[in-house]
Structure 1
Amino acid sequence: MAQAQMTSDYEQARARLLRKRKFRGDVVAYLVINAFLVGLWAVSGAGSFWPGWVLAIWGVLLLLDGWDAYFRHDVTEDDIQREMHRTR
């Protein structure tokens, strides 16, 4: 059982690290692509700020992804036991 628990812990830690790495890549893509869109808007006459829609919608989705990567934690055995005792 100890080996199975170590494997499970290892897999969970690896999955968390992969989520964080993906999030950092997504932030870089957000910055580069949106900088390009703002530059395109500025060069094309700077009328109505249409890149704001992309910035806002993508930004909200990026925040949700960041929450998932850095603040959401996997359910542990302790969490399950605590919930079971709470409902009795």
Structure 2
Amino acid sequence: METNSRRNDYRFEKAKEKVEKIKGFYHHLAIYLLFVPFFIWLNYIGSDFPWAIFPIFGWGLGVLGHAAETFSWNFIFGKGWEERKIKEYMDREEDLF
């Protein structure tokens, strides 16, 4: 019974961490979406050069990276790559030691 309780506690903590990560991402996204019009407005009143695209694009890449980490997107290795590699190395035990 104690093992089941520990497993539920562990699952609860992991779920809580995931929810905190998602909440942090949505805060980041909301702040980004608030600042985009501000950058555009500053650019409009202050300059003919469209400098606002640089911070908007750069910060947008940061938001995209945050989303990739939060939602476990893996653009380079694809879905399930890590699990396949672990299984491959477990099948070839001699390579591990």
TM-score by length of 2: 0.71
Counting only pairs closer than 5 Å after superposition, residues 28-43 of structure 1 correspond to structure 2 as 28-43=30-45
Where do 5+ consecutive residues of structure 1 fail to align? 73-77
Q: 1:86 to 1:55 in 2, by over 3 A?
A: farther
Q: Give the paired residue count.
A: 81
- Greater than 4 Å deviation, 4+ residue runs: none
Partner of 2:79: none
TM-score by length of 1: 0.78
Q: 1:87 to 1:35 in 2, by over 3 A?
A: farther
Unaligned runs of 5+ in 2: 74-82
1:36-55 maps to which residues of 2 (within 5 A)? 36-45=38-47, 47-55=48-56
Larger Rg: 2
